Amino acid sequence: MFDPKTIDEIASRLASAVPPGLTHLKEEMEKNFHSILQAALGKLDLVTREEFEVQKGVLAKTRAKLEVLEQQVAELEKRFPAEQP
């Protein structure tokens, strides 16, 4: 789902934000950041932008059909009112 280069870049940015006194740990921290990010992002239930746009279109069509059906039902209810007991 996520581009490994993007994860590498984020891990590198995080590691570069380490205070100067801990620069000797930078490489190890970068590896740890990378694995933590990969695990956390892997747990997320995400979709691509393309999948999102497709589903957005499907939803729009479904809403339009629903509105038409609601109008038809309203017209039928006016024509044939339900009998009250």
6-43: pLDDT as tens digits = 888 888 888 777 777 777 777 788 888 888 888 888 78
Task: Count CB atoms within 10 A of the CB of residue 12.
Answer: 14
Helix (H, G, I), strand (E, B) or coil at 12: helix
What's the predicted TM-score (pTM) here? 0.51
Nearest to 34 by CA among 9, 59, 68, 54: 9
